[in-house]
Structure 1
Amino acid sequence: MNRAALVQAEDLAKIFDVSAPWLNRVLERKPRQLLHAVDGVSFSIERGRTLALVGESGCGKSTVARLLVGLYEPTRGGMHFDGQDAHAAFKRPEGRKLRRRIQMIFQDPYASLNPRWLVRDIVGEPLREHEILQEGPALRARVGELLQSVGLSPLDMAKYPHQFSGGQRQRISIARALATQPDFLVCDEPTSALDVSVQAQVLNIMKDLQRERGLTYLFISHNLAVVRHVADQVGVMYLGRLVEVADKARLFEAPQHPYTRMLLEAIPKMKHTGEARTPVQGEVPNPLNPPTGCTFHPRCPHANARCKAERPPLQMLRGVQVACHAVEENRI
């Protein structure tokens, strides 16, 4: 295990049973259907750094997020947090202490805040739930401090979520996540529902908070411009598996995996206005019936017979972790 890592995911897998009801299967003679949402994902995040997971919708990014915070239990593998087996700890009473140290910011600020609660109750809930503070002047003062730390006013605690814009609501979500003074924040596309100008404000707040508090982030996004702004390391996911993990600068300057190259080529570039862009080729295969071998081979210009038959492991090649036979054989 990487001793410098605060978070260490090892062979994480999550399988969902999405079969039709038993009677339907018997009458229609259909087999059970299993969805391999996450299939053997391993990575580590050093204290105070940010790992971004990127990939197309449905590749398993949000499932990884929910596995790390304990909302899902892994089918296989596990996660060590600060040297402790997190999923074993979550099941025991002392798991409450661990949950204080791991918090999550959700994607949709309109769905993640209770519309019937005042902001004071929303941000104060983790403080009450973890018995850090009880109702009273101290709790209100702490909620006011948390709102100020994300650029809102302490007076905002007397309002309801509908009185705020999307960006302000996401700031409230961040304040709530910070209430227990966590070490690790899992951010599931926290800016994807916001306007571009507001995205930048929220991202800058998150970077400032990371510097001030030494926070460690797992940042999930499908927006590579956002990833370039916030990440130290980037993991590229495809159909439930990591296909490339590299430092941000290395990944953007010299992507190795054909899928990473395809994603980066699709980004508009200011200097190349008017030039034809390479669109992301093909469609994501049905995750219930993934291709054999390397799951990317139907869309890959470098695929050969080995790619169709043999699944490539994630291994260190050319100084980055990459799962690709073509890279291994120096065909690209």
Structure 2
Amino acid sequence: MSGSFVEVKDLSKRFDVSAPWLNRVLERRPRQFVHAVDGVSFSIERGKTLALVGESGCGKSTVARLLVGLYGASEGQVLLEGQDCAAGWAGPQAAALRRRMQMIFQDPYASLNPRWKVLDIVGEPLREHGLVRGGAELTQRVGELLRSVGLAAADGEKYPHQFSGGQRQRISIARALATQPEFLICDEPTSALDVSVQAQVLNLMKDLQRERGLTYLFISHNLAVVRHVADQVGVMYLGRIVELADKAELFSAPRHPYTRMLLDAIPDIHMTGRARTPVQGEVPNPLNPPSGCSFHPRCPLANERCSRERPSLQAFKGIQVACHAVSEGRS
């Protein structure tokens, strides 16, 4: 962990979802909190990609927003080359830290201002951080950024509505690259795109990683996409990481029952005719999570200990997994 470029330690985020004060007094209801992220830890080496996967509502996007400072953490730390990011956002180094970390958002239709030309959208970080002097240099730099993501420099004079979804996401990537960041947080950057366009954007991101030595945190619910881009994979369930392993290890020998369930749901042309196990049950209500292991109501290997005692993430044969069945050899 000590040689990691990005390090996350016991990161937690609680949201207050209580009813208004008067309702609580009249109805004698207590305050309510959702533990969107609950003690998440991981590290990423420079130039590598860690993917976080899981069903909708498991806390993946909240982790992304905590890393870039859009949310403040309830507990825990985010370190970039040993520097505490929470202290960095609040101090004089905030602008320098923000240049090093950028985010690509999920929806290319919502993340670009429809009233601005592409030149202004991609050029805003350059102006904001004082990286260009004058309009001519701005136009030149934006043109270079657009060409680096497979668009033309002349596209700077167009508006977002004149582009397809895949082209809009390329504009988002160009904007994220404007400050020459070292770390990109990608929050499901291809989920709103057609499958053929997804492949183009993913290949572009891999090319940019090789050329610029970028480090990625890649958020996704699509395991096929993760298999294409990731070096390491963390599987999240109800705000916690339940398994963390190298990509090859996780896909070839998944340990946690939830990881197996997710992988079993992927269509595979080589396994035609094999009985498939769909993902069983529903994600519990995060306002009232189950006792013990939060996955135990859906787990085929659960026993009495699983419903009583919450497992911690422990190293096991080269991977990290939070599961009593694995630690006891019941899997």
> Could you state the TM-score of these two structures normalised by the residue count of structure 2?
0.99
SS where residue 91 of structure 2 aligns?
A: coil
Return the offset for 1:133: 1.0
What amino acid maps onto 1:66 in structure 2? R
Q: Residue 226 of structure 1 corresponds to which residue in structure 2?
A: 225
Return the offset for 1:230: 0.1
SS where residue 145 of structure 1 aligns?
A: helix
What amino acid maps onto 1:255 in structure 2? P
Q: Residue 83 of structure 2 corresponds to which residue in structure 1?
A: 84
CA distance in 2, matches of 1:134, 1:294: 56
Q: Residue 74 of structure 1 corresponds to which residue in structure 2?
A: 73
Return the offset for 1:84: 0.5
Alpha-carbon displacement from aligned partner over 1:121-154 (angstroms, at most 9, x marks no partner): 0000000001111441111000000000000000
CA distance in 2, matches of 1:317, 1:119: 49
1:266 aligns with 2:265: yes
> Could you state the TM-score of these two structures normalised by the residue count of structure 1?
0.99
Structure 1, unpaired ranges of 5+ = none
Q: Residue 37 of structure 2 corresponds to which residue in structure 1?
A: 38
Question: Does 268-277 or 98-107 show the bigger shift?
Answer: 268-277
Q: How much is the aligned-residue C-alpha RMSD, in angstroms?
A: 0.7
SS where residue 254 of structure 2 aligns?
A: coil
Return the offset for 1:318: 2.3
CA distance in 2, matches of 1:325, 1:277: 25
Q: Residue 256 of structure 1 corresponds to which residue in structure 2?
A: 255
Q: Residue 138 of structure 2 corresponds to which residue in structure 1?
A: 139
What amino acid maps onto 1:31 in structure 2? P
1:153 aligns with 2:152: yes
CA distance in 1, matches of 2:100, 2:148: 18
Q: Residue 235 of structure 1 corresponds to which residue in structure 2?
A: 234
SS where residue 244 of structure 1 aligns?
A: strand
CA distance in 2, matches of 1:10, 1:135: 42
What amino acid maps onto 1:190 in structure 2? P
SS where residue 71 of structure 1 aligns?
A: coil
Q: Residue 61 of structure 2 corresponds to which residue in structure 1?
A: 62
1:278 aligns with 2:277: yes
Alpha-carbon displacement from aligned partner over 1:144-166 (angstroms, at most 9, x marks no partner): 00000000000000000000000
What amino acid maps onto 1:151 in structure 2? G
SS where residue 136 of structure 1 aligns?
A: helix
CA distance in 2, matches of 1:277, 1:322: 24
Return the offset for 1:72: 0.5
CA distance in 1, matches of 2:304, 2:95: 50
Return the offset for 1:96: 0.8
SS where residue 5 of structure 2 aligns?
A: strand
CA distance in 2, matches of 1:121, 1:134: 15
What amino acid maps onto 1:90 in structure 2? W
What amino acid maps onto 1:196 in structure 2? V
Alpha-carbon displacement from aligned partner over 1:217-238 (angstroms, at most 9, x marks no partner): 0000000000000000000000
Return the offset for 1:274: 4.0
CA contact (8 A) 1:128 1:135 kept: no
Sequence identity percentage: 76
Q: Residue 317 of structure 1 corresponds to which residue in structure 2?
A: 316
Q: Residue 203 of structure 1 corresponds to which residue in structure 2?
A: 202
Q: Residue 19 of structure 1 corresponds to which residue in structure 2?
A: 18
What amino acid maps onto 2:183 in structure 1? F
Return the offset for 1:202: 0.1
Return the offset for 1:77: 0.3
State the 4+ residue runs in structure 1 displaced beyond 4 angstroms: none
CA distance in 2, matches of 1:97, 1:9: 20
Q: Residue 162 of structure 1 corresponds to which residue in structure 2?
A: 161
Note closer, same or farther for the CA distance 1:133–1:206 as it changes in structure 2 (3 Å cut): same
| Residues 292-307 of structure 1 aligned to structure 2 (within 5 Å) | 292-307=291-306
SS where residue 182 of structure 1 aligns?
A: coil
Alpha-carbon displacement from aligned partner over 1:42-73 (angstroms, at most 9, x marks no partner): 00000000000000000000000000001011
Return the offset for 1:27: 1.0
Q: How many equivalent pairs are there?
A: 331
CA contact (8 A) 1:123 1:175 kept: yes
Q: Residue 325 of structure 2 corresponds to which residue in structure 1?
A: 326
